[in-house]
Structure 1
């Protein structure tokens, strides 16, 4: 399950000088909030994460990759089964007959049992 993270603009901020000079305070803030945006000239340059948040992110990413691979495998299976039908010995004749019919039906269609 994907973990919701706060938006970048909602993170507590520390400028690079504070990080360098007051590392202990920054570590406490990261432990308290889970992450801190590090700024340089008022622009966010990086985000500091605690280990638990990083672990959740990597697990979510792996789960997303596995789900994506599962969908791709299922699509590949459907493609292979349709391709197998087209590779049958009689498939070329059937496709040719379909194009020759040009939308014409052999019998008139019924619109249901009451028709």
Structure 2
């Protein structure tokens, strides 16, 4: 049997030492942008409305201003949310590249 040792790691942006923005939350923000609705975003992600609302509420409370604004016409992302999505995507791409390099190194060193 040929077994391969690999490095693995999930990526989160933390705020004051707490997980703040990860892939799932970014997807939720993107779905809110697409649908204009937290409920529709949750449905598209096959998650409960409560879980989606709790995630949005946690992000809004942690950041200095709301990332999602909701009103009678629906929900929309703020400029801060749009900027944070880009920051996350850029940082995650760097993390992915680093993990690929690290994984190759670990695999070589273990052989």
Question: Do they fold alike, i.e. is TM over 0.5?
Answer: no
TM-score, structure 2 as length reference: 0.36
The higher relative CO (CA closer than 8 Å, separation ≥ 6) is in 2
